[in-house]
Amino acid sequence: MKLTCGNRVLDLSRPRIMGVLNTTPDSFSDGGRYYREGELDLDVAVERARQMVAEGAAIIDIGGESTRPGAAAVTGEQEYRRVVPVVEAIARELDVIISVDTSTPEVMRAAAEAGAGLINDVRALQRPGALEAAAASGLPVCLMHMQGQPGTMQANPRYEDVVAEVSAFLLDRLQCCEEAGIPRQRVIFDPGYGFGKTDEHNLELLRRQDELAPADIPLLAGLSRKSMIGRLLGREVDERLPGSLALALLAAQRGARILRVHDVAATADVLALWQLVDRA
């Protein structure tokens, strides 16, 4: 399985790591890291990306909107200013696929022009103009499932059959993509762990993750440092590395081709050992 991401090819014959780079001042796990006196510090962001590439990240995911429940809403313009300069700087400095974590059509367009290779949308291109912007970019898109809206999604998540509902939603969005001129060869599915889901829902999705996507559609899993680890194990954000590694491996074993993580080096070790055991 291969994905063409702008002028680079992403080989998914083995699971690959997407390293998270949040340019928000308030993200739950690494918010505010790249700010100095309230200004985005591009050099620090590029150095962090460089480190993740050296540690084994095939993709750097740049996001400027915090989807944490209770996070301040961001305007398209703020998001643009947080994301596009970072995409430009990383595209100039590093040889890596850049993913842009956005639901905003203008940000998709500008990021694609600045050298992004992938559009990662937690709203699965449902905002007005998003399908068109993604189609025009010619880039692959990650469609993520979310029940509700970021601010309130954890209030009372409900499903009859979470796996069937998430899968049906993703297939519906796939059809919308195809109708908008985004071929299925350019689509990635993501169950959206933690987005409008209880711990039980998340566990059920992981348990049956292989039922979520048709065989030709790569699956992305984002479990790194998520609050389900905190609740299930009683761990603060800075104590979730072992849990994150366990879930990354379980997700990879259940078919995830891209793992979205904060701790690239540690995840790369886990995947390397798995490959040595199972792919000899």
120 binds ligand 7PJ (CB under 6 A): yes
Strands (E), 6-126: 8-11, 16-22, 35-36, 39-40, 57-63, 97-101, 118-121
Q: Which of 69, 60, 72 is nearest to 32 (CA)?
A: 72
> Looking at 82-90, 126-134, 188-196, 268-276, which segment touches ligand 7PJ (CB under 6 A)?
188-196
Look up 260 and say whether it is catalytic: yes
What is the contact mask toward ligand 7PJ in residues 219 to 258, using x (rule: CB under 6 A)?
A: -x-x---x--------------------------------
DSSP state of 191: -
Is the CB of 43 or the CB of 188 nearer to ligand 7PJ? Answer: 188
Q: Catalytic: which of 123, 226, 240, 257?
A: 226
Is the CB of 69 or the CB of 93 nearer to ligand 7PJ? Answer: 69
Calculate the CA dihedral of residues 263, 268, 271, 273 and round it to 10 degrees. Answer: -120
Look up 2 and say whether it is catalytic: no
Region at 235 (left for phi over 0; alpha for psi -120 to 50; beta for the rest): beta
What is the contact mask toward ligand 7PJ in residues 21 to 50, using x (rule: CB under 6 A)?
A: ------------------------------
Is the CB of 114 or the CB of 261 nearer to ligand 7PJ? Answer: 261
How is residue 204 written in tokens?
């059920």
Distance CA 175, CA 246 (A): 33
Distance CA 157, CA 227 (A): 15
Q: Which residues are catalytic?
A: 226, 260
**Binding stretches for ligand 7PJ (CB under 6 A):** 20, 67, 101, 120, 122, 142, 144, 190, 192-193, 220, 222, 226, 260
